[in-house]
Structure 1
Amino acid sequence: MGIYTLLSKIHSPEDIKHFSQKELKALAVEIRRTIIEVVGKNGGHLASNLGVVELTIALHRVFNSPEDAIVWDVSHQCYAHKLITGRYAEFATLRQAYGLSGFTKKAESPHDFFDNGHSSTSISSALGLITAWNIQEKGGHVIAVIGDGALTGGMAFEALSNAGQLAKNLIVIVNDNQMSIDQNTGALSSYLSRLTMTTHYQFFRHCIDKF
């Protein structure tokens, strides 16, 4: 695996909080090149990981893992997360015997809160975690990242219903990338599609892209 300047400097998410905007763009390029290089040799999930690079960088810039918890649905899109949380030196061992797991794994890092490899579980897991933290009077945010495909699972709906009833301070991020295994169907998919076509949404997205 090639040596990348910025990635080799990252030992924890705290390191990227001091990067300039130019360095962040270069970091995204390094992350994608590293993922492509390693997945090309070892196999793994390529598209799902390439699609969340900027999202992962943004999450680790805004929040303070592991004081804040990021829970990845399925966790097959956690490669950038692993690189930002200090596992670059071992990343070439991804999905190899005694190497890094292709999913989040508690034994690997304090930044991984669950051993996850199944769909539609992130919201319920995150809700359970923040409930436990509240009982312990522990501060911190809990963020569930769920894709448009996993959001159609019944367990995700149950968790959303439960979270609304408990009124916990839970953050849910929907990665609506239209990239589930098969074409999305149903009322929720249709609603998300209509939502992205509204003037308010497009104006908001334009402002973000311009920024």
Structure 2
Amino acid sequence: RVRAVGTVAARASLTEGRVLQSSAYFRVPAAGPDHRRPWGHYLVRPGVVEPFGKLPREAVAQGLLGGGRHGELDVGLIADGLLTRLLRHPLLDQRPPLRSRPTRLRWVALPADPGDGPSIERFTLAEDELRTVRLRVPEGTRSAEVAGLCDDLALHDWLLTTVVRILDGIRLGSAPPPARPRPQGPDDLPAVVRALRPAVDHLLH
């Protein structure tokens, strides 16, 4: 069990006016002071959490990927809180063009060996739409850059997951109804086209 003090950085993005996502992250140095410093010290270092003493990196990485328990730091809850506030924002019309389920990406980035470049050490599909990613990055890599990479990864994973679900729900090969000469409207489109249209119009680009 590691005690630490600091701040968590959180941000949100709206992609193409369609996909709203939020994220939260922090960086932890390998070692910190043995006592708590004044709050001013932490406030001028946004997104940095300092441990008391030496940091057991591997244990902390495993704990973060496993999810926060009661009394532990859970950045997922911080990201969820930001998303909940934004969903009430008056600029959102609350009329999504298609129904979808959210996904979550939980990640840690550990220092790479000297001379090695960045790499994805492990990518896991867990329960309840959860993905976990374990990265290795060179020393000195900015936290915001790693967080941006993981935001992009989460976005594309959600896009692929949502499109696959749409395709899984389509019954291909069913015979179309007999043609009748009458004015054509949206309801006259084949079921496959109606099911695919939201993905084509709002996601594939």
Structure number with higher strand proportion = 2
Q: Same fold (TM over 0.5)?
A: no
TM-score (norm 1): 0.23
